[in-house]
Amino acid sequence: MSINKVLITGNLTRDPELRETPSGFQVLNFGVAVNDRKKNQSTGQWEDYANFVDCTMFGNRAASVARFLAKGSKVAIEGKLRWSQWEAQDGSKRSKLEVVVDELEFMSRNENGSQGQAYGRGEVAQPAMEAVPYDDEIPF
């Protein structure tokens, strides 16, 4: 038995791209930057670095969620990893690992400082999760 489950929080690296397949199925693509920390062996200091994760969401929920997201939005995502491979137009083989989103929680605050709305557009989204402080003492 294997388990394929991903939980990440981060910020959108670009505005989401919503498209529709010829059969009318909604597909939402966006990127998320997930920060991590590691200790610099030369200086002994902790340094932040970003991991960039491609995410895809499908169906009617994709269209609903798209209107609340923009570059910089902070989100929590639950989903699964999917690896795909294809041949580019120049004949080279390409592949990528992405997260297929099952659940998405909005974590951003709007311009008034309240949670649960997307950037002051006035449309109520899901309640936001509390951010958990990062523990600097975890040695990675």
Determine the pLDDT at residue 1: 83
Determine the pLDDT at residue 119: 30
Token pair of 38, please? Answer: 């590691």
Pick out the chain residues at pLDDT < 50: 111-140
Determine the pLDDT at residue 87: 93
Alpha carbons 77 and 61: distance in angstroms, whole number: 14
Please tell me the chain's helix, strand, coil percentages from 3-state DSSP, rounded to the nearest 5: 5, 50, 45
DSSP code, position 117: B
Give DSSP secondary structure letters for 48-106: EEEEEEEEEEESHHHHHHHTT--TT-EEEEEEEEEEEEEE-TTS-EEEEEEEEEEEEEE
Contact assessment for residue 99 and residue 8, using Cβ atoms and an 8 Å cutoff? yes
Determine the pLDDT at residue 109: 62
**Domains located in the chain, CATH noted:** 6-38+47-106 (2.40.50.140)
Q: Is the pTM of the predicted complex or chain greater than 0.75?
A: no
Please enumerate in sequence order all residues whose Cβ is within 8 A of that of 121, keeping only pairs 6 or more positions apart, or say none: 67, 68, 110
Determine the pLDDT at residue 114: 43
Structure-token match 């895809």, residue found: 56
